[in-house]
Amino acid sequence: DTGVSQDPRHKITKRGQNVTFRCDPISEHNRLYWYRQTLGQGPEFLTYFQNEAQLEKSRLLSDRFSAERPKGSFSTLEIQRTEQGDSAMYLCASSFGASGRSPYNEQFFGPGTRLTVL
């Protein structure tokens, strides 16, 4: 297994455009998380899925943000009508969840997608 992958690694867009990011988790993991990280800050939780169900969304996630995980495997995060304040690193992570394989739900992070909104 090659770990969590994200695509694209970098995205530059103009304000008002829509962007979509993809995350491919580790294949056996049932949980998938999206975080946003700005310079000098820790990752901020956005949302997570258990299989295909979106179980929690942060209040940070405005109506312009939507995430899907249609078949319980890869996930997409879409930002509509991007704003300059959306510029950040978007991190995806996956885990087994609390289970016999990983009793403390260690999350494995992907390399991130760096978004720049001009």
Window 4 to 23, contacts with another protein (CB under 8 A): 4
Q: Residue 1 carries which side chain, given as an amino acid letter? A: D
CB of 30 to another protein, least distance (A): 12
Q: Residue 77 carries which side chain, given as an amino acid letter? A: L
Report how far residue 62's alpha carbon sits from residue 65's, in angstroms, rounded to the nearest whole number: 6
CB of 50 to another protein, least distance (A): 9
CB of 19 to another protein, least distance (A): 20
Window 21 to 50, contacts with another protein (CB under 8 A): 33, 35, 40-45, 48
Q: Is the dihedral of CA 92, 76, 29, 49 positive or negative?
A: positive
Report how far residue 92's alpha carbon sits from residue 5's, in angstroms, rounded to the nearest whole number: 8
* Beta carbon nearer to another protein, 46 or 79: 46
* Beta carbon nearer to another protein, 25 or 43: 43
* Beta carbon nearer to another protein, 16 or 56: 56
Query: Residue 108 in contact with residue 101, Cβ under 8 Å?
Result: no
Q: DSSP secondary-structure letter at 27? A: T
CB of 90 to another protein, least distance (A): 11
| DSSP of 69-87 | -TTSS-EEEEESS--GGG-
Interacting residues toward another protein by CB under 8 A: 4, 33, 35, 40-45, 48, 56, 91, 95, 97-98, 104-112
